[in-house]
């Protein structure tokens, strides 16, 4: 991974400021949140500040099995977020919609945004309404992007599909012909 020069410098010094951004693409619009203290505009989307959103540690690893992580939002009257406002999530078309979590790197001296790196993406599955120790919150269960590995027709071992990923790569050039010839002989 190549970082901008200034970011690499502050990372080497151990002084980079790292914040998290979350984007959810609902049917009614795309919404962004981050754990900063003011609105942040990045890539044409305004990310609203919120210290009330908590993202569980995503499951990183190899393999094709999809894992889950959660995103929770707690109602806090001090922040103007009443429990009944959490119910508004049910007005959104969230099922199966993309969720992306990013790390945003800032300059510790100027607070300028230096770089944004996607860390994990997935698809919103369910949203649970939870009361935990007197706190009311919603918990979104997100299935990570490896879910795509199991969707019919999403990707295939074909020359055409490989060209979408890596133009000019000839690894699968004869894959479909060999498959056809093998099955024709066996039948």
Q: What is the pTM of this model?
A: 0.71
Q: What's the pLDDT score for residue 187?
A: 47
**How far apart are the two ends of the chain, measured CA to CA in Å?**
48
* Number of CB atoms found within 10 A of residue 165's CB: 9
Least confident span in 37-41, 68-72, 147-151? 147-151
Domain ranges of the chain: 5-155
Q: Judging by DSSP bridges, how do beta strands 17-26 and 98-106 pair with one another? A: antiparallel
The two structure tokens encoding residue 152: 């019919």
Whether the Cβ atoms of residue 36 and residue 49 lie closer than 8 Å to each other:
yes
- Return the higher-pLDDT residue of 185 and 173: 173
Q: What is d(CA 24, CA 122) in angstroms, rounded to the nearest whole number?
A: 10
Partners of 19 in the β-ladder? 104
Q: What is d(CA 48, CA 41) in angstroms, rounded to the nearest whole number?
A: 9
**Residue 45 pLDDT level (bands cut at 50, 70, 90):** very high
- Return the higher-pLDDT residue of 64 and 80: 80
């Amino acid at each position: 991974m190549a970082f901008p020069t200034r970011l690499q410098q502050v990372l080497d010094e151990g002084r980079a400021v790292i914040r998290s951004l979350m984007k959810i693409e609902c049917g009614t619009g795309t919404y962004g949140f981050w754990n900063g203290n003011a609105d942040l505009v990045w890539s044409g989307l305004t990310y609203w500040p919120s210290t009330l959103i908590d993202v569980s540690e995503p499951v990183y690893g190899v393999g094709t099995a999809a894992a889950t992580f959660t995103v929770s939002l707690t109602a806090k009257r001090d922040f103007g977020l009443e429990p009944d406002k959490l119910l508004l999530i049910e007005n959104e078309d969230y099922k199966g919609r993309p969720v992306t979590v990013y790390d945003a790197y800032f300059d510790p001296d100027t607070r300028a945004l230096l770089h944004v790196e996607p860390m994990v993406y997935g698809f919103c599955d369910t949203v649970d309404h939870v009361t935990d120790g007197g706190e009311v919150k919603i918990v979104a269960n997100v299935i990570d992007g490896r879910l795509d590995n199991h969707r019919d027709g999403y990707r295939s071992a074909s020359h055409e599909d490989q060209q979408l990923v890596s133009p000019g790569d000839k690894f699968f050039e004869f894959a479909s012909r060999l498959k056809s010839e093998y099955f024709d002989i066996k039948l």
